[in-house]
Amino acid sequence: MDRRPGRDPDTVTVLWCTTDGDERRKAHTLLVRAAADVLDVPLSEVWLEHEDGGRPVLRGAGHALGVSVTHGRGALAVALTWGAAVGVDVEVVRRLRAEAMARAWLDPVEADWVAGLAVEDRPAGFLWLWTQKESVGKALGRGLRRGGMSRRVPLPEQWPPGEGSPALRPLPAGGEVVSGAVLVDCGRLLIGVAQRAGTGSEERSQPVRVRIHRVSPAAWS
For the stretch 204-208, contacts whose Cβ atoms lie closer than 8 Å and that sit 24 or more positions apart, written own/partner, are 204/10, 204/178, 206/10, 207/10, 207/167, 207/168, 207/169, 208/9, 208/10, 208/11, 208/12, 208/167, 208/168, 208/178
Does the structure show a pLDDT above 70 at 200? no
Residue type, 213: H
Backbone φ and ψ of 129, nearest 5°: -80, -45
Does the structure show a pLDDT above 70 at 2? no
Any bridge partners for residue 209, and if so which?
Answer: 11, 167
- pLDDT for 175 equals 87
Cα–Cα distance, 118 to 179 (Å, whole number): 24
- Chain-centroid distance of CA 44 in Å reads 26
- pLDDT for 4 equals 53
Does the structure show a pLDDT above 60 at 201? no
DSSP string, 90-103: EEE-----HHHHHH
Q: Which of 54, 34, 55 is nearest to 46 (CA)?
A: 34
All structural domains of the chain, each given as residue ranges with its CATH number in brackets, are 11-219 (3.90.470.20)
For 49, other C-beta atoms within 10 Å of its C-beta total 10
- 26-61 pLDDT, tens digit per residue, is 999 999 999 999 899 999 999 999 998 888 999 999
Burial of 129 from C-beta contacts in 10 A (0-12 / 13-18 / 19+): buried
Does the structure show a pLDDT above 70 at 198? no
Instruction: Name the percent of the chain lying above pLDDT 90.
Output: 72
- 97-151 pLDDT, tens digit per residue, is 999 999 999 999 999 999 999 999 999 999 999 999 999 999 998 888 767 888 9
Q: What is the DSSP letter of 147?
A: T
Cα–Cα distance, 210 to 124 (Å, whole number): 20
